Chain A
């Protein structure tokens, strides 16, 4: 048996052992789909998706009025009375009825479900033969139950997490698959995100506002601004780098980017990273509290900081040979730099362990349910 196959079998054994651990000692998440959301319709083509059990009615003992209460992680965007008729001029898309795209009426407030803008009006839920039914007075009716695959995706996420971690033992096909999948999905995701969050609203929405508004409501819809043809041309010129013949044209765009970035950054950097830093380093070598007098601890810190900055600068000053006072100062500078790098490395370790903690929290809590409270 090859080493790669042995590692793969080992990986599958660890995965199965963990699942068994969850099944025996915890409440292992089921990978099977569940029907946990109910899709119903209300008058005027309004479609409401109310996650089952995530909203309940309560009677206020003081006023005897009925109120809706959402479960943890959900919020009631707006309570709609049974007699609610959406007005044509509703501005808030969370509640506006769009007859062409009723599915777009409610924006998600919870990502796991992709639904959850719970507007239940006078809806009531009841169970019959294991099925949940929703009654909506005034013409509403149940359309269908929406199946949730959250448990299945939890298993996929657990498998991929362990797939990545398996590299710590040795390279194997599961790690390779997971790594390739991660890079592919990340690249595609960021490309789509950049297109829809930057190019569409900032460029296409300015040049063809009506067209963009018809595709993506809420974006565009303003007056056309032909000045945006300039960034469009510059953007296209950047792509000429892909050809050897016209590649030189991209320099115009790069020159523009470098020029504007330098211009924009100059004042900010000068003010906060140059003048501000000098002021912070030497401005207050003696810390004085008006009420308590000289603060010796803070004063000591300020002097250490000042000496540290100065000696580090000496270390990078190569116009004079590092001998005598300059040599001693530069050696102190090296120590200061090493301590700084050590502290930064310590912070990096802390950050990486935090990521590991969160991944393990996912495995033990969301997948295996074995965290003991």
Chain B
């Protein structure tokens, strides 16, 4: 048997070796927290601008139609939207056309509210006044058809069973036309497509969308005539994170100046907390201590964006999953492109040699 040349080895590379390269290209940037600057595309910018330019107190119907399987891509954009809307003091009305949507919406609200309280302790964000979770209703386009005419006939209570008549922010909400914007976060059907067909187009209410990479190409035909903008997959979520970061940067800098005191309190609380797993507690305390040292050394006003983001995480709970996940994603894409190029080169060499 003839000895294999380097070319033969590359051409006949074991597929498991490619899997290993992909795993490493994701794992290494993830472990070392590698991420890159993001430049927003017009579609992401259009979504941001719409939410940014709505007057404070605008009503936004937010559809959480996704499930845990699509969370890696959808969760970062949902978090960014909720943060942005609450920052702008818009009122969020959450609905879901998927059964597990309401629980994921609750998690998103809790995380966003906690961060905003850290960012601005004076800000009062109240359930029922600033955001409400109306829960899941089955029926897909049937639900949207009812929303178009009379929301109250379908949604008599919120997710907690409270009568909507007792929820202050429900005053004056009659149907889809009562909203200033529909924000659809969906991972498939029913979701954005149905909301466009049966909701935003007949009601004449503008719609923005956030969806998975797989589903995004199916929604692009609606842009820009029937959909103002769309976040498609993790890349767009990272772009939105970057836009939001630019907006709240001055506030982050201001809060980080107070960080040493906040961190000292937190370390003291963590040290006395017996409920935490000891190893996890050691790691958390070490992280907070490192952050404390870094904050004491640094002046937030002169810090670069990356350093500021890194510090805002442990101090203020400022997670940017879109940006942090996009680092490993970009490296993995490069590795895939590299293997595609190698595959094509070997294909053409073989073709020229007459092997195929």
> Footprint of B on A, CB under 8 Å?
26-30, 34-37, 51-53, 56, 70, 72-75, 91-94, 107, 109-111, 127, 130, 132, 151, 168-169, 193-194, 197-198, 202, 217-218, 264-265, 268-269, 271-273, 276-277, 279-280, 283, 340, 343-344, 347-351, 353-358, 360-361, 364, 369-373
Can you list 20 A-B pairs, Cβ within 8 angstroms, ordered by A? Answer: A27-B281, A34-B276, A36-B275, A92-B160, A92-B162, A197-B136, A218-B161, A264-B198, A272-B196, A276-B226, A280-B222, A347-B214, A347-B216, A350-B235, A351-B73, A353-B26, A357-B72, A357-B234, A360-B30, A361-B325
The smallest beta-carbon distance between B214 and chain A, in angstroms, is 5
B277 touches which one: A34, A111, A358 (CB < 8 A)? A34
Interface contact B217-A73, CB-CB below 8 Å: no
- Range class of the B interface residue count: 35 or more
B225 at the interface (CB under 8 A from A): yes
| B102, closest chain A residue (CB) | A197
The smallest beta-carbon distance between A338 and chain B, in angstroms, is 14
Interface contact A373-B103, CB-CB below 8 Å: no
Contacts of B313 in A (CB 8 A): 373
Contacts of B300 in A (CB 8 A): none
B275 touches which one: A26, A28, A34, A273 (CB < 8 A)? A34
B250 at the interface (CB under 8 A from A): no
Contact flag A357-B273 (CB < 8 Å), given A94-B160, A111-B103, A272-B197: no
Cα distance A356–B22 in the bound complex, in angstroms:
10
Contacts of A127 in B (CB 8 A): 272, 274
B260 at the interface (CB under 8 A from A): no
Q: Of B43-51, B58-66, B110-118, which stretch is located at the interface?
A: B110-118
4 closest pairs, A vs B, by CB?
Answer: A358-B72, A36-B275, A218-B161, A268-B197
Q: Which of B72, B103, B212, B277 has the most CB of A within 10 A?
A: B277
Interface contact A353-B332, CB-CB below 8 Å: yes
Contacts of A130 in B (CB 8 A): 274
B273 touches which one: A53, A276, A369, A373 (CB < 8 A)? A53
Contacts of A268 in B (CB 8 A): 141, 194, 197-198, 201-202
| A340, closest chain B residue (CB) | B217
| A197, closest chain B residue (CB) | B99
B124 at the interface (CB under 8 A from A): no
Interface contact B332-A193, CB-CB below 8 Å: no
Number of residue pairs A-B, CB distance < 8 angstroms: 201
Contact flag A52-B275 (CB < 8 Å), given A202-B138, A347-B216: yes
Cα distance A358–B324 in the bound complex, in angstroms:
10
The smallest beta-carbon distance between A5 and chain B, in angstroms, is 18
Cα distance A360–B73 in the bound complex, in angstroms:
14
Interface contact A169-B213, CB-CB below 8 Å: no
Cα distance A364–B283 in the bound complex, in angstroms:
13
Contacts of A27 in B (CB 8 A): 277, 279-283
Cα distance A74–B30 in the bound complex, in angstroms:
27
The smallest beta-carbon distance between B346 and chain A, in angstroms, is 20
Interface contact B283-A369, CB-CB below 8 Å: yes
The smallest beta-carbon distance between A204 and chain B, in angstroms, is 13
Cα distance A343–B269 in the bound complex, in angstroms:
50
B163 at the interface (CB under 8 A from A): yes
The smallest beta-carbon distance between A328 and chain B, in angstroms, is 25
B27 at the interface (CB under 8 A from A): yes
B79 at the interface (CB under 8 A from A): no
Interface contact B163-A91, CB-CB below 8 Å: yes
Contact flag A110-B110 (CB < 8 Å), given A169-B16, A351-B233, A364-B27: yes
Contacts of A269 in B (CB 8 A): 197
The smallest beta-carbon distance between A57 and chain B, in angstroms, is 12
| B25, closest chain A residue (CB) | A353
Q: Give a binary string over B174-197; 1 marks a CB under 8 Å from any A CB, 0 the rest.
A: 000000000000000000001011
Cα distance A344–B220 in the bound complex, in angstroms:
11
Interface contact B106-A276, CB-CB below 8 Å: no
Interface contact B217-A347, CB-CB below 8 Å: yes
B253 at the interface (CB under 8 A from A): no
B33 at the interface (CB under 8 A from A): yes
Interface contact B234-A350, CB-CB below 8 Å: yes
Interface contact B328-A360, CB-CB below 8 Å: yes
The smallest beta-carbon distance between A186 and chain B, in angstroms, is 10
B19 at the interface (CB under 8 A from A): yes
Cα distance A220–B23 in the bound complex, in angstroms:
50
Interface contact B325-A358, CB-CB below 8 Å: yes
Contact flag A369-B114 (CB < 8 Å), given A92-B166, A358-B72: no
B33 touches which one: A35, A347, A372 (CB < 8 A)? A372
Contact flag A107-B160 (CB < 8 Å), given A30-B278, A202-B138, A356-B26: yes
Q: Which of B23, B276, B328 has the most CB of A within 10 A?
A: B328
Cα distance A269–B22 in the bound complex, in angstroms:
41
Contacts of A364 in B (CB 8 A): 27, 30-31
Contacts of A198 in B (CB 8 A): 138
Q: Give a binary string over B261-290; 1 marks a CB under 8 Å from any A CB, 0 the rest.
A: 000000001001111111111110001001
B336 at the interface (CB under 8 A from A): yes
Cα distance A85–B33 in the bound complex, in angstroms:
50
| A217, closest chain B residue (CB) | B161
B6 at the interface (CB under 8 A from A): no
Contact flag A354-B213 (CB < 8 Å), given A109-B106, A360-B27: yes
Chain B 199-240 interface residues, beta-carbon cutoff 8 Å to A: 201-202, 212-214, 216-217, 221-222, 225-226, 232-235
Interface contact B329-A353, CB-CB below 8 Å: yes
